[in-house]
Amino acid sequence: MSDVEETITRTHHEEWARVVATLTRRFGDLDIAEEATAEAFAIAVERWPADGVPPNPGGWLTTTANRKAIDRIRRENKRDDKHKEALMVSDDDSPEPLGAIDDERLRLVFTCCHPALAMETRMALTLRMVGGLTVPEIARAFLVQETAMGQRITRAKAKIKAARIPYRVPSAEDLPARVSGVLAVLFLVFNEGYLATGPDTDPVRHDLTAEAIRLTRQIRALMPEDGEVAGLLALMLLTEARRTARVSASGELVTLDEQDRGAWDAALIAEGHRLVRERLAAGVAPGRYQILAAINAVHTSARDVRDTDWSQVVALYDQLVRLDSSAIVALNRAIAVAELDGPEVALAAVDRLEDKLAGYHAYHATRADLLRRLGHSQQARAAYDKAIELAGNTAEIAYLTRRRDQLGS
Amino acid sequence: MQYLVSVIDDKENPGSTDEQPAISVFNERLIAEGYWVFAGGLADTSAATVIDNRGDAAVFTDGPFVESKEYLAGVWVWEVPDLDVALKLATEASKVCKRKIEVRPFQ
């Protein structure tokens, strides 16, 4: 990649959301803002290699996108409302203080993650408007047709406009609920990347995990005091740190206990641990992301799996169960209990979850592993069969299949 | 910005009918806060008649335009600044009426 291409890629990452947000604020229309921003970047790709990168790339892009937006509004308003057009032109070069721009970006995030939009739509819209991914990229990420994804995003923009979903940071009383809505979107994007579903996709979608981390970093820069934002970022970093060790050369999932810990990303782990320590020092009761991050901090602190402080892991899960009494949390707690109190105790706990988790592959995979460790080969085989049938991730299917085939009779 | 706020009832599982005092209190608040434009409860869907005069002659059909388990039991029209305000009020309205609420903007 040439220097200019690299600059364009970096600028795209750094400036896309800012430009979209600034234009949305100014023109009150997400569609115009998106299209004009995309046009401005297309012009940059065309001109910068020949003309050189402008001294202030972000400013250049904002100005160019502004002009494109005004061009479009002029075309659409040719017959009416000359006055409005003049007003917008006169406002062209008003300087934006940096703090205000950051607020714009946050407004954009809250609008894309508005609870009146379907969860899938929120994820797609956030990746497009805030992350700057193209529609084909997002369609690939969620394994849907490009036209379907394009329509989903178009419909969402139309709803935001027609239903007047406000373009603002929610009021203080609504903020905690709305922030947790934003974090849920980012966590889903990350998880889809980390355990990608579908037979024809890479088992780990680094593009999605990286994007989720990048967006969470941005949110953290905008809301540095929020404990759950820090917790989610730490959780993602400590998970991402193990990414390369998690899938073998032959494309098989490698479980935590069998991973080459030397292959973990030390820098990401150090950053994740720093965030966890920062939250511990804050002395505020942690939310679920902070607790999950702390659990991952315990795992990534052990140089060898045998050094893992399982009593600490179980204690953290106990804390999590008090916040979230879902069966999935109970299942993960049972996995830790197996290390502390043995597979028999854990199996009893897992079996109690059957009603709620019978359709979830991880329930059967966990049972299979516990039954295998207890020497119940036949039951283990049945559980592996069920897990393989329900699993969607290619690396996980490969791992479960090998484990099943290694069972004695 | 005006929104049509529809109260949705369910024939198989109808909401109770003693909510009127609570709805009146809620309506008074809507008026006091300047959101109230219109409100009205609807008679049963069996009282509806559909008229189609797109062809040569008008055709009257007895009953609602679509038969479904769920039906429109009443409507409000609210004047509010944006969807967030409408959703907040609708959240309360659903509790007060003990029924589902649809919020839909006018064009």
- Give the residue, A182 or A94, on which the prediction is more confident: A182
pLDDT of residue A82: 53
pLDDT digits (tens, 9 = 90+) for A371-385: 999 999 999 999 999
Decide if pLDDT at A83 tops 80. no
Mean of all residue pLDDT scores within chain A? 89
Q: Are A228 and A197 in contact (CB under 8 A)?
A: no
Interface of B with A in 32-61 (CB under 8 A): none
Is pLDDT of A86 > 50? Answer: no
**Dist. CA A188–CA B84, nearest whole Å:** 24
Residue B96: is its pLDDT beyond 90? Answer: yes
Q: How confident is the model at residue A94 (pLDDT cuts 50, 70, 90)?
A: very low
Return the pLDDT at A1.
Answer: 66
Say which of A164, A166, A174 has its CB closest to residue B105: A164
Q: What is the pLDDT of residue A308?
A: 95
Taking only the tens place, the pLDDT of each residue in A206-251 is 778 988 998 899 889 878 889 999 999 999 999 999 998 998 988 8
Provide the pLDDT confidence category of residue A117 given band limits of 50, 70 and 90. very high
Residue with the larger pLDDT of the pair A10 and A331: A331
Rounded to whole angstroms, the Cα distance separating A163 from A61 reads 30
Radius of gyration of chain A (CA): 24
Owning domain of residue B37: 2-105
Residue A87 has pLDDT above 70, yes or no: no
pLDDT at residue A197 greater than cutoff 90: no
pLDDT of residue A93: 46
Give how many domains chain B has, as a whole number. Answer: 1
Q: CB contacts < 8 Å between A and B, how many?
A: 23
User: Which residues in chain A have Cβ-Cβ distances shorter than 8 Å to B104?
Assistant: 163
Q: What is the dihedral of CA A306, A312, A313, A319, to 10 degrees?
A: 180
- Using alpha carbons only, what angle is made at residue A10 by residues A7 and A11, rounded to the nearest 5 degrees? 80
Closest to A310 (Cα-Cα) out of A274, A351, A343 = A343
- Say how far apart CA A76 and CA A72 lie, in whole Å: 6
The closest alpha carbon to B50, from B61, B37, B35, B38, belongs to: B61
B106 CB within 8 Å of a chain A CB: no
Determine the pLDDT at residue B36: 96
Q: Please list, residue by residue across A131-167, b when 16 or more beta carbons sit within 10 angstroms of its beta carbon and e when fewer do.
A: bbbebebbbbbbebeeeebbebbeebbebbeebbbbb
pLDDT band of residue A80 (cuts 50, 70, 90) is low
Tokens of A374: 């207890």
User: Which spans in A258-393 are helix H?
Assistant: 266-282, 288-301, 310-323, 327-341, 343-351, 354-357, 361-373, 377-390
CB spacing of B84 vs A174 below 8 angstroms = yes
Give the model's pLDDT for residue A249.
87
pLDDT of residue A64: 97
pLDDT beyond 50 at A343: yes
B78 beta partners: B3, B36
- Best residue in B84, B87, B107 to probe A by mutation, most A CBs within 10 Å? B84
Domains of chain A: residue spans and CATH:
1-169 (no CATH), 173-308 (no CATH), 323-409 (1.25.40.10)
**Interatomic CA distance for residues A107 and A22, integer angstroms:** 10
Distance separating alpha carbons of residues A213 and A243, to the nearest angstrom? 13
Residue A409 has pLDDT above 90, yes or no: no
Q: What is the pLDDT of residue A287?
A: 94
Q: What is the CATH number of the domain that holds B63?
A: 3.30.70.1060
Lowest model confidence (mean pLDDT) among A79-88, A265-274, B84-93: A79-88
Chain A neighbors of B84, CB-CB under 8 A: 165-166, 170, 174
- Report the percentage of chain A scoring pLDDT > 90: 66
Flag whether pLDDT at A338 surpasses 70. Answer: yes
DSSP code of A261?
G
- Identify the pLDDT of residue A221: 85
Mean pLDDT of A67-72: 95
pLDDT-based confidence at residue B15 (cuts at 50, 70, 90): confident
Residue range A319-334: mean pLDDT, rounded: 94
The first and second tokens of residue B107, run together, are 């064009």
| Token pair for A320 | 């999590």
User: pLDDT at residue A39 above 60?
Assistant: yes
Q: Please tell me the pTM assigned to this model.
A: 0.80
